[in-house]
Amino acid sequence: MNIGILALQGNYYQHKSALDILGVKNTMIRHAKQLDICDSLIIPGGESTTISKLIDNNKLRNILIDFAMNNPILGTCAGMIMLSTTVPTDNMVPLNIMDFQVKRNAWGAQVHSFTEDIYLDFDKDRSFHAVFIRAPKISRINKSMQVLSTYDNEPVLVSDGMHIVSAFHPEIGNDFRIHKYFINHINERIPSFS
What pLDDT is attached to residue 111?
Answer: 66
Q: Do residues 77 and 92 make contact, with C-beta atoms less than 8 angstroms apart? A: no
Q: Do residues 84 and 94 make contact, with C-beta atoms less than 8 angstroms apart? A: yes
- pLDDT of the chain along its 194 residues, tens only? 999 999 999 999 999 999 999 999 999 999 999 999 999 999 999 999 999 999 999 999 999 999 999 999 999 999 999 999 999 988 899 999 999 999 887 766 666 688 999 999 999 999 999 999 989 999 999 999 999 999 999 999 999 999 999 999 999 999 999 999 999 999 887 765 54
Q: Which of 171, 173, 140, 138 is nearest to 157 (CA)?
A: 138
**Other Cβ atoms closer than 10 A to 25:** 11
Q: Do residues 138 and 155 make contact, with C-beta atoms less than 8 angstroms apart? A: yes
Q: What is the pTM of this model?
A: 0.94
Residues tagged active-site: 77, 169, 171
Q: Are strands 73-76 and 164-166 parallel, antiparallel or unpaired?
A: parallel
What pLDDT is attached to residue 173?
Answer: 92
What pLDDT is attached to residue 194?
Answer: 45
Superfamily of domain 2-193: Class I glutamine amidotransferase (GATase) domain (3.40.50.880)
What pLDDT is attached to residue 189?
Answer: 75
- Rg of the chain (C-alpha set): 15
Q: Do residues 48 and 81 make contact, with C-beta atoms less than 8 angstroms apart? A: yes
Query: Could you tell me the CA-to-CA distances from 97 to 100, 108, 171, 178 in Å, in that order?
Result: 9, 25, 22, 20
What pLDDT is attached to residue 186?
Answer: 93
